[in-house]
Amino acid sequence: MITVDRGAVVTLEATFQKYTPFGDYVLQSPTTTPTVTVTDPSGEEKITTQSLTLKEAGKFYYHLQTEENWLQGTYVSKISAPFSPYNEIKVDNQSFILE
């Protein structure tokens, strides 16, 4: 988990992998645009279902601009792709601490 100062930018990343026969995972983009929701330590949603940006097949990111007046503590992001038939979704920076 990373720690950042209030007012800093946090990059949230997601890698979507599809399981193929014989135990291989292959990067593949979902059929719908992935979204992210971020909640603060009190449970308030700071951003809701914002679209991620495609970097390359199966890899997406979102630059979250934090604000100086946001609460200090642990923030949790939920990245999802509704109706996606993928059985493994790897999400980096799922949580971060704001100081």
Can you give the pLDDT of all 99 residues of the chain as single tens digits? Answer: 889 999 999 999 888 887 778 878 888 888 888 999 999 999 999 999 999 999 999 899 999 999 999 999 999 999 888 655 656 666 666 789 999
The pTM assigned to this predicted structure is: 0.83
DSSP 43: S
The residue range of the domain holding 9 is 2-98
Q: Domain containing 80 — which CATH number?
A: 2.60.40.10
Q: In Å, how far from its chain's centre is CA 95? A: 9
Q: Provide the domain count of the chain.
A: 1
The torsion angles phi and psi of 23, rounded to 5 degrees, stand at 80, 25
